[in-house]
Structures are given as structure tokens and as C-alpha cells.
Chains A and B, each alone.
Chain A
């Protein structure tokens, strides 16, 4: 198939994935909105009032970018891992494997689904946040690009998880034991300047710190780390994970006997 036909195949997967997200919107869009509303009420409103300011902002304002990014990460990852694993489990992934599509089409198609869900949830959570605190976006391009790149990274993470997963338990392990702790320790609710030196330095090994702070810089104009460094690290993950996805699909790991 030439490039033009590969794009048609890509469009087919993207449409299919986006339709899936919208078809099950009660499962994909609504729960994060409810969860984040509770976060804003409990952490922002009730506890946040006692905390006062953080990084020069009202606590609710400060935690808003972190909360948005947390939703984007969880949902982009969850979308691809569940969609791709379900396709593998039910066998209909074979539809794609037997077709003359390039593997980059399969990767990008599924990743696009994750990015769309991540963006949609990010938008909904932003709207929820606006009910609690005013948000003025300082650098719109940085804010949007950070969300897209982060959704891209975690969609590919979800895909890798789904490729290796053999049973449904394997799909839940990474979000529970890796993604969750890394997200909460990634500066979603606090600035790392509050941490002792050792822990602050250790936090810089957590990639999520760069994503959260990247969005925080885009929205509020403040960050614990340099924005250039954040972009470099995220782009390294984008390229590295894309290469790894391609490597796995080319070798047929988890999808071919």
C-alpha cells in the first residue's frame, strides 16, 4: 500500500477509536469529571483553604494543572491499554494484522484514540476546575502542546502494556503499582521545593514531574523545572516509546505466535 492508502487505513483506525470513546462516554468521560470534582472539593476547597498559597497562587489554582494532567495521563493510558488488549483478547486485532497496513499506522491509530480521550477528559476537567477557581492560561501553546505530548507518551505506554498483557490482571498492574504512585509523586498537588533535598532530587527522575510542571508553566507561568528541559525529556519519551512500540510490533511480540 502506498502512503495515501496507509493514511486511509490510519483514518479508519482513528475514526474507529474515537467512535469507541464517544460510544461509551459514560465510562470514558464522566468518571474523571466526577473524580476531579471530588478532588477540587476535598483537596482544593476543604483542605486547600488551610494550606493557603503555593508557588504564589491560591492552592486550588496551583493544583488545577496537576489535576488536569493526572486525568490526561490516566485516561490516555487507560484508553489504549483497554482498547488494544480487548482487540487482542477477542481476536479482532487479527483484522489489522492480516491487512497490508504498516505497523506505524496501527501504533498511531491507537495512540490517536488515546490522545483524543486524554484531550477530551482534560477539557472536561478544565471546565470543572473553572467552577472552583479562575484559570488564566499564560502560554496557551505550551499548555496545549504539553497535554498532547503527555497524552501521546502515555497512550504509547498503554499500548506497550497491552502488547505484553496476557490476562486482564496484567492490564491493571501498571496503572495501580507504577502509574498511580509516579503521578501522585510527580508534583500534582505540591511543589518539590517543599521536599527535603534528597527527595526533591529523586523527584527529578520522575518523568511525570516534567509533564505536570510543563502544563503548570503553560497555565500559571510557574514551574519547578526549566520548560526547555521538560520538552526535551518528554520528546525523548515520545521518540523512545514510539520506537519501542514499532520494535515490538515488527517482531510480533504478544500479537503473533
Chain B
């Protein structure tokens, strides 16, 4: 069973901009799915169509088998959404904000209150239940939006940049919470600009660029497509120049750090033994950038280059 199934989805805005150009996407029930792409790629438009905030131009969207064309209300009942923009009623109290949302899903007030208490406690907002939304910090507002999206127990949770502007401690606690609800059976679709977040949380990833899906696979399979990685090595002793290591590009960052580019077919053992022979002692290492980020940037750059080339060819033909 697919939690979300999108087929040949097109969206052209009245100003002529084609935000989506026939995308296909399938998200399995229970999955933790990342939908990534640069700004303006079409992520929010796709989410908007699924949640009925944006009218589609053509195509099919089904949520747990229910078409948004013929069974919109049934499809909506499965979805909880945390939009990118803060869209709380600033004058509503935290508690009422969540209780009302439950009411919109047809949950009786008594049960809505119990559910509200549960989600507010889980998201560490129970102590702030009597305050108006406008008095909350940015991170709390984000958590309140998550609480609001979860109060009716959705089977599909769509998070559009849920941790934007949230400090690292709260972000990590939100990750733990999202992992827990995913383990308990909620399918999650996440869009984020923090690619570390997507790599940490998601099992599947789709990358959208210029209204087209350019990558759609398991996270591990996508990461394997990364042909080279750049590592930063921390050294015990200072070095004045970068040591020459056969087959590797080594560059000096500072006295105690080196940068090495490793291709997919190379192994780290030979690098370390060569460094050891050269008298360089490595005490720790890390990826220079997040692997998914590296892949994402390369993929998007390649697409941009392809588009530039196509444009040159078109101009030349003209």
C-alpha cells in the first residue's frame, strides 16, 4: 500500500511558470521519505497540491488509495501537515490552537482535550498551554505546528522544513520524536534544507529540480552514487606543507588539518599507510560536507550545466 501516489502531476501558475512538469512519486506506507530540491524547485507546490492548498493543473494524486479528485475529504483525513510558513493564529492560546484543530477533524471536545494534552506533553509545550501563540519562541511555534498536525493521529505526516530556525538541541529532540512516531507507523514526508537532517532520518529520498524528479531511490542507494568524498584529517603534529601521497589529492588546510579527496574505487587503508610512512599521524577524520549535501550540490550543478548547454545549442540553432 502506498501512503502517497503521484502520477504525471503538472502545475502551471497563471503567470505561466511551470512549477511541476509531470512528476511521478510513490511513498510506501510507513516510510520516512525526504523530498529535496533547491528553492523554487517545486517541493512546496507538490505538497500544496497533496494537501489541497494548491490547485493542480493535471495529474493524479492518491493518499492511501483515495484520490484527491473524487474522495478529497477521505484523502485529507489521513494527512497532517506542518507548512513551511508559520501560520498560527497569533491570538489563540496554545491549548485552544490544538483543540480546535482536532475539532476540525470531527473529534469531540473531550477527546480533543485529552489528545491535546498528550501531544503538548510529548512536544514539551504543556507548560505553555495557557499562553498565546505570539508569545512563543520560534522553536516553540514550530513544535506547536507539529502538535497541531499530529492531534488527529494522521497516518501521513508532511513536514515542510519543520526545523527551520530551530536551535540544534531542539532540532535533535524533534528528530527523536519524529523517529518515534515513524516507528509507531506514521509515514513521514520531509522537505528540508538541512541535508544532514534528511540523511539522518529518511530511508528514501527524491530530489526535485525545476519541476522534475531527478533522483528517487533508497537513501543508501542514492549515497552510493556519490563517486568521491572529501575528508578532513586532524593531525597530531603540525605540518608545513601537504605530504605527497601517491594516487590521492591531499591539500593542507592549516597546521593541523589536511583535506583529502577519495574516489569511490580507492580505499582509506592505503591512504593511512601512505601517511604513516610519510610520518603524518592522523588522530581523527570527518567528512568535509555532509554526503547527501555533496551529492545534492553536484546533481543540481550538473543539471544547471546541462540546461546552460541546451540554451547555447538553442541559441546557436536560431
Contacts and interface: CB of A to CB of B under 8 A. Distances in A.
A5 interface: yes
A120 B89 CA distance: 24
Interface string A47-63: 00000000000000000
A256 interface: yes
A12 B104 contact: yes
Nearest to A19: B96
A6 interface: yes
The bracket for how many chain B residues form the interface is 20 to 34
A99 B13 contact: no
Contacts of A257: 13, 48, 53-55
B115 interface: no
B52 to A, nearest CB: 6
A224 interface: no
Contacts of A98: 51-53, 76, 79, 81
Interface string A112-126: 000000000000000
Given A98-B51, A98-B52, A100-B76, A1 B89 contact: no
A212 interface: no
Given A1-B73, A257-B54, A99 B105 contact: yes
Interface string B176-209: 0000000000000000000000000000000000
Chain A interface main SS type: helix
Contacts of B53: 94, 97-98, 256-257
Nearest to A101: B104
B131 to A, nearest CB: 15
A100 B55 contact: no
A1 B152 CA distance: 13
Interface residues of A, number: 28
A5 B152 CA distance: 13
Given A256-B54, A257-B53, A90 B76 contact: no
A220 B76 CA distance: 51
A134 interface: no
A23 B91 CA distance: 10
A243 to B, nearest CB: 20
B17 to A, nearest CB: 11
A257 B72 CA distance: 17
A102 interface: yes
A100 B105 contact: yes
Interface in A1-36: 1, 4-6, 8-9, 11-13, 15-16, 23
Interface string A81-116: 000000100111011111111100000000000000
Contacts of A252: 55
Contact of A99 (B86, B92, B104): B104
The listed residue with most A CB atoms (<10 A of its CB), out of B72, B77, B103, B107, is: B103
Interface in B41-74: 48, 51-55, 72-74
A5 B76 CA distance: 14
A5 to B, nearest CB: 3
B164 to A, nearest CB: 15
Contact of A1 (B85, B86, B106): B106
A16 B97 CA distance: 10
B104 A9 contact: yes
B101 interface: yes
A97 B52 contact: yes
Given A1-B106, A95-B101, A100 B77 contact: yes
B299 interface: no
Interface string A34-48: 000000000000000
Query: Which of B73, B74, B77, B90 has the most A CB atoms < 10 Å from its CB?
Result: B73
A88 to B, nearest CB: 10
A99 B151 CA distance: 12
Given A12-B100, A95-B104, A256 B73 contact: no
A102 B88 CA distance: 21
Nearest to A5: B106
Contacts of B54: 256-257
Contacts of B162: none
A5 B55 CA distance: 25
A100 B74 contact: yes
26 contacts: A1-B105, A6-B106, A9-B104, A9-B106, A11-B103, A13-B104, A15-B103, A90-B88, A91-B85, A91-B86, A92-B88, A92-B89, A92-B92, A94-B53, A94-B83, A96-B104, A97-B53, A98-B51, A98-B76, A98-B79, A99-B76, A99-B105, A100-B106, A256-B54, A257-B53, A257-B55
Given A95-B104, A99-B76, 4 more contacts: A12-B109, A13-B103, A95-B148, A257-B48
Interface of B: 13, 48, 51-55, 72-74, 76-77, 79, 81, 83, 85-92, 96, 100-101, 103-109, 148
Across the A-B interface, give the 7 residue pairs with the lowest CB-CB distance, nearest first: A5-B106, A12-B103, A91-B87, A99-B104, A100-B76, A100-B73, A92-B89
